Amino acid sequence: MTNPPPASRAVPAGTASGASPRLAGRPAVSAKRGRLIAVASGKGGVGKTFFSITLSHALARRGQRTLLFDGDLGLANIDIQLGLMPQYDLGSVIAGKLSLNQAAMQYEPGGFDVIAGRSGSGSLANIPLSRLQIMGEDLALMAGRYDRVVLDLGAGVEKSVRQLAKSADTILVVTSDEPTSLTDAYAFIKITAMERPNTDIRIVVNASNSTREGERTYQTLFKACQGFLKISPPLAGIIRRDARVRECIRNQTPILIRSPSSEAAMDVEAIAERLLAPS
């Protein structure tokens, strides 16, 4: 991994000098269906954080006031992928030094706001569930100031992940064609469906060699959910394998800035369009 460049022009969204123009002077409003989108995966390494960043960027490009929240409490790395050096992060919130709203910063190149985790530290992974519940409630309340909030969850099915997921209106489960990825994605869907039977769960197939292959991967997971769980999670979209994804991550630059016409970028743009389409 390359060393982070000098701090990007990401400034606290609530400060006078860095107030987000999308939030200034706007009162909080009650949350609406589909406002808070959680991005989950049963297994790490399937491109969940890349997808969360690109989805947030795509939503912002469509005029949506968007917040990206790094909810991977054990291995937070949104700030690394964006090349940020945040002044505040979730560690300060958990320590009671500032509110969740005060931890938000504006990522000017992408036009969206970010609440960073604590990169390179597992210190937030074991916080009490009661504290996580309060943070989830605060996030849901804060979502009233945005059109969309994208919550990048940690991988797996641990209680801390599931607790944060309870804040979400929609959960996008990212998987690949690897058997372990499909098995773990199924496990996440199973537990979530048991705990919250009416949750809006949708599937994203990432790093697929082709659209047709991605559809086959989706059908494998879909049939397992239908056969054993009696639920039918729809396909949110397929993201084709693209060498420019790794290139963008290495350069700590969003793909919609560095390679906006790449296949992966266009695939995430299409997912954003579908999420915003009237139901």
Is 29 contained in some domain?
Answer: no
pTM of the model: 0.88
Q: What residue numbers bound the domain in which 149 lies?
A: 36-65+129-276
Cα end-to-end distance, the chain, whole Å: 41
Indicate the pairing of strand 36-40 with strand 148-153: parallel
Q: Can you tell me the distance from the alpha carbon of 47 to that of 64, in angstroms, rounded to the nearest whole number?
A: 23
Q: Can you tell me the distance from the alpha carbon of 235 to that of 141, in angstroms, rounded to the nearest whole number?
A: 28
Is 249 contained in some domain?
Answer: yes
C-alpha closest to that of 224 among 178, 186, 180, 172: 186
Angle between helices 243-250 and 263-276 (to 10 degrees): 90
Is 46 contained in some domain?
Answer: yes
> pLDDT tier at 36 (50, 70, 90 boundaries)?
very high
Beta strands in 108-199 (DSSP E): 112-115, 148-153, 170-175
Is 208 contained in some domain?
Answer: yes
Is 11 contained in some domain?
Answer: no
Is 236 contained in some domain?
Answer: yes
Which residues make Cβ contacts (< 8 Å) with residue 215, sequence separation at least 6?
Answer: 205, 235, 238
Q: Please calculate the CA angle 144-94-82 and round it to the nearest 5 degrees.
A: 70
* HSE value, Cβ hemisphere, 13 Å, CA-based, for 5: 10
- CA distances from residue 92 to 9, 99, 119 in whole angstroms, order as listed: 20, 8, 13
Where is pLDDT greater, at 248 or 7?
248
Task: Please report the pLDDT score of residue 197 as a whole number.
Answer: 94
Q: At 234, which CATH number? A: 3.40.50.300
C-alpha closest to that of 166 among 38, 52, 34, 28: 38
Where is pLDDT greater, at 168 or 29?
168
Q: Can you tell me the distance from the alpha carbon of 172 to that of 257, in angstroms, rounded to the nearest whole number?
A: 23
> pLDDT tier at 26 (50, 70, 90 boundaries)?
very low
Residues paired with 12 in a beta bridge = 105
Length of the chain: 279
Task: Please report the pLDDT score of residue 15 as a whole number.
Answer: 42
Q: Are 12 and 200 in contact (CB under 8 A)?
A: no
Strand order of the sheet with strand 66-71? 10-12, 105-107, 112-115, 66-71, 148-153, 36-40, 170-175, 200-208, 235-240
Q: Across all residues in the chain, what is the average pLDDT?
A: 87
Residue 180: pLDDT over 90: yes
Is 4 contained in some domain?
Answer: no
Residue 6: pLDDT over 50: no
Task: Please report the pLDDT score of residue 132 as a whole number.
Answer: 85
Residue 14: pLDDT over 70: no
Please give the structure tokens belonging to residue 58.
Answer: 């795509």
**What is the number of structural domains in the chain?**
1
Beta strands in 197-261 (DSSP E): 200-208, 235-240
C-alpha closest to that of 191 among 33, 37, 40, 36: 40
Is 90 contained in some domain?
Answer: no
